[in-house]
């Protein structure tokens, strides 16, 4: 891992060899807009801007390899809960993750997300509503970062994931969870969150080391409410 002052857009391109020059330029423009808007809107902590490319862009981009293939063969539908400044959902959309939906209740943040999408020519849907107000649709993947404890995230995500089960044909593909999956970026309290969530949910959890933080972990999980 490089020192903070050495990790930049070029480092990200090196870590993800498939990133085209055009895509990298879009991410750079995103970064410029973030720094500009952050002066008037609290999008991310000012301290984190000193290590912007590692703490936000790398942190988000690393989820790309864990997104399962859609069982229908079409682009996967991804829902990002509490998108805020767009991490991880908007980064994944720019990287071509699929049909990405960003849910953000704060109007100013939603305006920022739409502006970045427009400037970077990124096809993404921004839902400026509370999660429970969004009309449910089937999702292959639900993502979130620093938004809510895991038990609450499962409650928010379940309508989208259970909708996928109801509308999709059964599959024997063991690489694609039947209910879709959650991809979560979590920190040092992940074990306690899993314990607490396990009181209400039956979960299959895979853990992966974070490439952006020594303490960070990536969780890929599918779950059912206990009793279902």
208 and 217 Cβ atoms separated by less than 8 Å: yes
Taking residue 96's Cβ as centre, other Cβ atoms within 10 Å add up to 15
Report pLDDT digits (tens) over 5-35.
578 999 999 888 888 999 999 999 999 999 9
Report pLDDT digits (tens) over 113-163.
999 999 999 999 999 999 999 999 999 999 999 899 999 999 999 999 987
CATH number at residue 99: 3.40.50.150
Taking residue 123's Cβ as centre, other Cβ atoms within 10 Å add up to 10
pTM: 0.90
What is the total count of domains within the chain? 1
**What is the strand order of the sheet 77-81 is part of?**
125-127, 99-103, 77-81, 141-145, 181-186, 217-225, 201-209
- For residue 198, what are its two tokens? 């396990």
Domain that holds residue 178: 4-225
């Amino acid at each position: 891992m490089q020192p903070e002052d050495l990790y930049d857009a070029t480092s990200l391109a090196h870590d993800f060899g498939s990133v085209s020059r055009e895509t990298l330029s879009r991410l750079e423009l995103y970064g410029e807009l973030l720094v500009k808007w952050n002066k008037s809107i609290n999008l991310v902590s000012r301290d984190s801007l000193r290590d912007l490319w590692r703490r936000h862009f790398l942190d988000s981009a690393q989820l790309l390899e864990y997104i399962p293939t859609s069982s229908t063969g079409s682009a996967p539908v991804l829902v990002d809960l509490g998108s805020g400044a767009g991490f991880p959902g908007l980064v994944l959309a720019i990287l071509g993750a699929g049909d990405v939906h960003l849910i953000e209740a704060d109007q100013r943040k939603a305006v920022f997300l739409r502006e970045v999408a427009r400037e970077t020519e990124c096809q993404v849907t921004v839902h400026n509503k509370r999660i429970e107000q969004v009309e449910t649709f089937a999702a292959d993947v639900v993502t979130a970062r620093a938004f809510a404890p895991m038990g609450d995230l499962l409650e928010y995500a379940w309508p989208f994931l259970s909708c996928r089960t109801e509308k999709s044909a059964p599959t024997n593909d063991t690489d694609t969870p039947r209910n879709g999956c959650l991809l979560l970026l979590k920190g040092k309290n992940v074990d306690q969150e899993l314990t607490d969530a396990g009181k209400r949910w039956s979960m299959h959890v895979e853990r992966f080391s974070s490439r952006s933080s020594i303490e960070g972990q990536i969780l890929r999980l599918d779950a059912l409410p206990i009793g279902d």
